Chain A
Amino acid sequence: MFKYAKYELRGTMKFLMGAIILALGASTGIQLFIRREAGNTLRYLGGMPRESELIAFLVVALVFVLIGSIIGGMVYLISSYRRELYEDRGYLTFSLPLSGGQLLGSKLIVALFWGTVMGISIILYNLILAQMLIGYNLFGELWKIAAQIDNFGFLFAGSVITSLMESAVTLLLVYFAITVSRVSIKSRKIGSLWFILFIVLTSIVTYIQEFIAKQLPMYLDLSRMEMIGQKEAYIMGIESQFGGTLSIQGVVSIPGLLFQIVLIAGAFIATAYMLERKIDIV
């Protein structure tokens, strides 16, 4: 099934590995720079508690580098999908005995894979580097905090799954928008308006998801592994949070989740169908 994924992976490897290395290099530079500057400032100010220094480090380094590189990586992967539909390489890809679903699935899996690898490697690297530079047992502290949270395991698994699903939804909507533009518009330039279609779709989807979550109040509190109804959700202040899937308190809207699953399936099937039956490779 994922024969093609291997080739997609190899084709994107160079750029993505380069991006990761660049990101790690930038992180190192930023952390070292801040270390030096912060060190100077601290001496001048008479010192700050260790914890805040740590947080300053991480926030600056991580946020800049992480978001920047993941966006860069995703833009690259999305344009790789687009190129498949508009360039000569499509002759090979669409001549292979692959179903639309196999092709789409491969692209999706590889994109999710890179996103995950990028995210984890950059975050871990920054944490380890920060720990080395400051000499603070970061992992130990984090582990202590984690142990104190009820059902941390479920919360963690929950966040992982929901982020993957959110990413999948986003990616599939992008692929869907690109494919629709390709099928309906001949010109490549005008076809770049897929982005507008994507924005529209995302807004609609987000609205529907919130709507469903509100109308069918059935929540699962991951920290207690208990179901919550409308009253309690209102009290916890969850109701306004369901643009995404997981609230800050670790509560999941079950209907919202189901909607996402249906959405993923629908977008996947529709796009795969178009790839197989409607695309003209010119």
Chain B
Amino acid sequence: MNFDSGLPIYIQIVEIIKTRIATGILKRGEKLPSVRDMATELKVNPNTIQRSYGELERENVVFTQRGMGTFVTEEESILEELKGNMAREKIISFMEDMERLGYNRDEIPAIIKETILEGK
């Protein structure tokens, strides 16, 4: 897997896993692939996966049960917050892109509405 330049891989993997959780690929309480399986899937060093899982655990997005594996959190509130944060990041990124195209912030909601209506 080719990762984006700039960010350490473990952080990029954290994002990948968060996306999978937010989009429902990984459900609430579901067991994450083992470190080894994940490493093979993404073709990275298992230590890197370990680090990513550790980071996710620090953020309480996942929890580890000794001998059993790592699981997505059961707490709905955390999952909601995760979704919300990701959505916000996407919006901010979108707005920055729009601004680069020359639009200013006030113009953006109108364009969005327009695009949605067209889509119907």
On whether A and B touch (CB less than 8 Å), the answer reads: no
Interface residues of A (CB under 8 A from B): none
Interface residues of B (CB under 8 A from A): none
